[in-house]
């Protein structure tokens, strides 16, 4: 296996692992909300835990190098935290509170379609038909997984929030793609978590939080676990580990391919909810899961068959189509070197 193939293999593996970690947040977050936390309070706890872990970790592992040279990237990092982390999760929870959950998920996961439209219409970059076909196939499968036909009465505020979540999800892929090879994945994830935690503090109002939920036993999967253990899970596994591996994976793929791979998160969430909460899967959902995986496979094949198109389209163009220094058709320097995640 040559270096480029190894890089793609690492990227695919990391992106899939990240999707599973993200998908694992649902059952435990839902248990905390049913125990008494507000949705935004659960999101704030999740991100605050991640920030408290990542900030000292970044300083310990990267030292002064974690801060030096970041000035040109501060606007992008701030936008990543506000949109890619805080906005995506907050908008989704608002949408899920006003719409059927399946519809909210489908709206949020229209983000990869926005990615393709942005690359083609704004950046004037080529979008390979294989990547587009993968996204379309995965989205069709997602409609089966979430059974979108079960709820078609759309609340206007919920609809707007769902589309906001989609736009924020698209920004996540595009910003990480732009920072690839220029900012360390650990630094990107740390900065995003800190910015998101600060931004959500006013909305979540943690001073009004029912803190009694944390030491109390919370029912989950037919058993009970302390609330703090569930918070630790969604903070460490479904946020720290999920974002670190997701950023590292996207740096080895592209926004086009990564957008399709992310659909496996919905499949992972459905399977974990089935295992942990006993939520049954219908034949249509199982079929949809297979279609999602097929779409992700089609999209990642685009990276293997046409790396020159995808890398030029999603890695070598900055805003307005201006080439970014140090990045060419081979992708980011870190991706070309095949470096392992931190």
Residue that wins the pLDDT comparison between 76 and 64: 76
Domain assignment present for residue 89? The answer is yes
Domain assignment present for residue 77? The answer is yes
Domain assignment present for residue 335? The answer is no
In this predicted structure, what is the pLDDT of residue 44? 94
Cross-strand partners of 329? none
* Alpha-carbon span 91 to 93, nearest angstrom: 6
Domain assignment present for residue 1? The answer is no
Element (H, E) at 108: helix 101-108
The reply to whether the predicted model has a pTM over 0.85 is no
Give how many domains the chain has, as a whole number. Answer: 1
Quick check: helix, strand or coil at residue 304?
A: helix
Domain assignment present for residue 317? The answer is yes
In this predicted structure, what is the pLDDT of residue 226? 93
pLDDT in tens, 67-122: 777 788 899 999 999 998 999 888 887 877 676 565 666 677 777 777 777 777 77
Closest Cα to residue 255, out of 163, 318, 326, 162? 318
Domain assignment present for residue 308? The answer is yes
Distances (CA, A) of 330 to 14, 80, 120, 182: 20, 24, 20, 15
Cross-strand partners of 218? 225
Residues with Cβ within 8 Å of 212's Cβ and at least 6 positions away in sequence, in order, are 36
pLDDT in tens, 174-209: 888 888 778 888 888 899 999 999 999 998 999 999
Cross-strand partners of 328? 331
pLDDT in tens, 242-270: 888 888 887 777 665 666 666 666 666 66
Residues with Cβ within 8 Å of 61's Cβ and at least 6 positions away in sequence, in order, are 186, 342
pLDDT of residue 334 exceeding 60, the answer is: no
Domain assignment present for residue 341? The answer is no
Query: Token pair for residue 199?
Result: 């931004």
Q: Give CA torsion, residues 8, 13, 18, 24, to 10 deg.
A: 160
Number of helices followed by number of strands (H, E) in the chain = 17, 2
Distances (CA, A) of 292 to 21, 39, 323: 17, 27, 33
Domain assignment present for residue 2? The answer is no
Contact 199, 138 (CB under 8 A): no
Q: What is the mean pLDDT of residues 137-160?
A: 71
Phi-psi region of 25 (alpha: psi -120 to 50; beta: other; left: phi over 0): alpha
* Alpha-carbon span 133 to 123, nearest angstrom: 20
Closest Cα to residue 335, out of 19, 1, 4? 4
What domain range includes position 63? 11-208+217-322
222 burial level (CB within 10 Å; 0-12, 13-18, 19+)? exposed
**How confident is the prediction for the chain on average, in pLDDT?**
74
In this predicted structure, what is the pLDDT of residue 201? 94
């Amino acid at each position: 296996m040559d270096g480029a193939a190894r890089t793609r293999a690492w990227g695919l593996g990391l992106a899939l692992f990240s999707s599973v970690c993200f998908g694992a947040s649902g059952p435990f977050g839902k248990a905390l909300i049913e125990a008494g936390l507000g949705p935004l309070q659960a999101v704030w706890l999740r991100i605050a835990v991640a920030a408290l872990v990542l900030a000292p970790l970044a300083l310990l592992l990267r030292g002064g190098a974690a801060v030096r040279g970041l000035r040109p990237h501060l606007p992008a990092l701030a936008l990543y935290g506000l949109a890619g982390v805080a906005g995506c999760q907050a908008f989704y929870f608002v949408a899920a509170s006003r719409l059927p959950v399946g519809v909210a998920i489908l709206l949020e996961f229209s983000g990869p379609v926005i990615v393709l439209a942005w690359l083609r219409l704004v950046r004037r970059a080529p979008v390979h038909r294989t990547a587009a076909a993968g996204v379309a196939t995965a989205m069709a499968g997602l409609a089966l997984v979430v059974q979108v036909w079960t709820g078609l009465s759309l609340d206007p505020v919920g609809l707007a929030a769902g589309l906001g979540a989609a736009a924020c999800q698209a920004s996540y892929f595009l910003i990480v793609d732009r920072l690839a090879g220029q900012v360390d994945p650990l630094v990107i994830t740390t900065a995003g978590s800190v910015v998101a935690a600060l931004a959500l503090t006013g909305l979540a109002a943690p001073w009004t939080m029912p803190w009694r939920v944390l030491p109390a036993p919370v029912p989950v999967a037919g058993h009970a676990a302390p609330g703090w253990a569930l918070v630790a899970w969604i903070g460490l596994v479904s946020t720290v580990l999920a974002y670190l591996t997701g950023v590292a994976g996207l740096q080895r793929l592209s926004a086009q391919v990564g957008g399709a791979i992310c659909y496996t998160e919905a499949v992972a969430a459905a399977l974990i909810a089935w295992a942990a909460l006993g939520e049954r899967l219908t034949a249509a959902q199982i079929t949809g899961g297979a279609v999602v995986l097929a779409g992700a496979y089609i999209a990642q094949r685009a990276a293997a068959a046409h790396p020159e198109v995808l890398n030029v389209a999603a890695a070598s163009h900055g805003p307005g189509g201006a080439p970014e220094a140090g990045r060419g058709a081979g992708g980011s320097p870190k991706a070309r070197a095949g470096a392992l995640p931190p």
